[in-house]
């Protein structure tokens, strides 16, 4: 029987693209580089801030360090402006708690930014573990962080659900030996989730309650 649900953050609990794209576009503009439409960032995010900056600067790698530093400072101040919680997420989280499940967040976003976003958008939700990027621990899709969360909870990995919106999340959860759930309200399409081994794919947050109760 499952005892915990581990959630990705960006594209799973919160639509953070408005603030990520705005901060990165401001950083690119300061370096005289071209900017991108918000939707283009759906395929630039997910692998941590360095990879985001690398994808954004493209061939202009000489600007990478400057853009990265500018973005990190900007986003730290503006990560709670236009981001929003997806419809039905809070009700789903409270429903999982009522069922006795532990709920956790695991993001490739830096730890401080992860904590900032969670504290602002979920002040009434008692997460059991909130984990972002920390030094010396590989980013997703490596399973290390997910394994650490399970150990913190005192659980075997097969007692955990892993919920996310990208192939990186599905690869992470599957590698960790967790039961994976892909969500379609996030950044990537069904085809990507299915191809990366999602064991379940859901359209609305409330479906997760039905799934874990089955």
Strands (E), 152-205: 160-164, 179-183, 200-202
Domain span including residue 74: 17-78
- Looking at the fold, whether 47 and 103 belong to one and the same domain comes out as no
pLDDT score, position 214: 83
Per-residue confidence (pLDDT) for residue 114, from 0 to 100? 95
Residue 171 has phi, psi (to 5 degrees) of -65, -40
Q: Quick one: pLDDT at residue 1?
A: 86
Instruction: Indicate the angle between helix axes 64-78 and 111-121, nearest 10 degrees.
Output: 30
- CA angle, corner 108, sides to 66 and 59, nearest 5? 35
Q: What is the pLDDT of residue 142?
A: 97
Provide the number of structural domains found in the chain.
2
Q: What 8-state DSSP symbol labels residue 132? A: E
Q: Within 13 Å and on the Cβ side, how many CA atoms surround 172? A: 32
* Residues 117, 70 within the same domain: no
**Does residue 33 share a domain with residue 111?**
no
Same domain membership, residue 184 and residue 103: yes
Last residue of a domain, one of 53, 78, 103: 78
Q: Residue 150: which CATH number? A: 3.40.50.1000
197 shares a domain with 177: yes
Give the separation between CA 70 and CA 51, rounded to whole angstroms.
15
Q: Are residues 98 and 189 in the same domain?
A: yes
Q: Classify 164 in phi/psi space as left (phi over 0), alpha (psi -120 to 50) or beta.
A: beta
pLDDT in tens, the chain (214 residues): 899 999 999 999 999 999 999 999 999 999 999 999 999 999 999 888 999 999 999 999 999 999 999 999 999 999 999 999 999 999 999 999 999 999 999 999 999 999 999 999 999 999 999 999 999 999 999 999 999 999 999 999 999 999 999 999 999 999 999 999 999 999 999 999 999 999 999 999 999 999 999 8
37, 55, 78 - which closes a domain = 78
Residue 105 sits in the same domain as residue 150: yes
CA distance 43 to 143: 21
Distance CA 105, CA 208 (A): 16
pTM of the model: 0.94
Cα 35 to Cα 3: distance, rounded to the nearest angstrom: 43
In terms of domains, do 125 and 68 share one? no
The domain boundary residue, chosen from 60, 78, 96: 78
104 contacts 7 by C-beta, under 8 angstroms: yes
Q: In terms of domains, do 144 and 205 share one?
A: yes
**3-class state of residue 201 by DSSP:** strand
């Amino acid at each position: 029987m499952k005892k915990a649900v581990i959630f990705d953050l960006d594209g799973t609990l919160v639509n953070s693209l408005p603030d990520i794209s705005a901060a990165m576009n401001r950083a690119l503009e300061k370096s005289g580089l071209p900017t991108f439409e918000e939707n283009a960032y759906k395929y630039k995010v997910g692998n941590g801030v360095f990879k985001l900056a690398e994808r954004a600067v493209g061939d202009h790698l000489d600007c990478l360090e400057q853009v990265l530093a500018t973005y990190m400072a900007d986003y730290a101040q503006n990560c709670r402006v236009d981001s929003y919680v997806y419809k039905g997420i809070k009700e789903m989280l409270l429903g999982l708690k009522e069922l006795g499940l532990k709920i956790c967040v695991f993001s490739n976003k830096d730890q401080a930014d992860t904590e900032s976003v969670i504290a602002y958008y979920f002040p009434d939700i008692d997460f059991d573990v909130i984990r972002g990027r920390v030094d010396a621990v590989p980013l997703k899709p490596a399973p290390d962080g997910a394994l650490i969360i399970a150990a913190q909870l005192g659980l075997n990995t097969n007692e955990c659900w892993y919920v996310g919106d990208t192939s990186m999340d599905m690869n992470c959860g599957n590698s960790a030996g967790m039961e994976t759930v892909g969500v379609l309200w996030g950044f990537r399409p069904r085809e990507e989730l299915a191809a990366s081994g999602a064991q379940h794919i859901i359209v609305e947050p409330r479906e997760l309650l039905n799934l874990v109760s089955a």
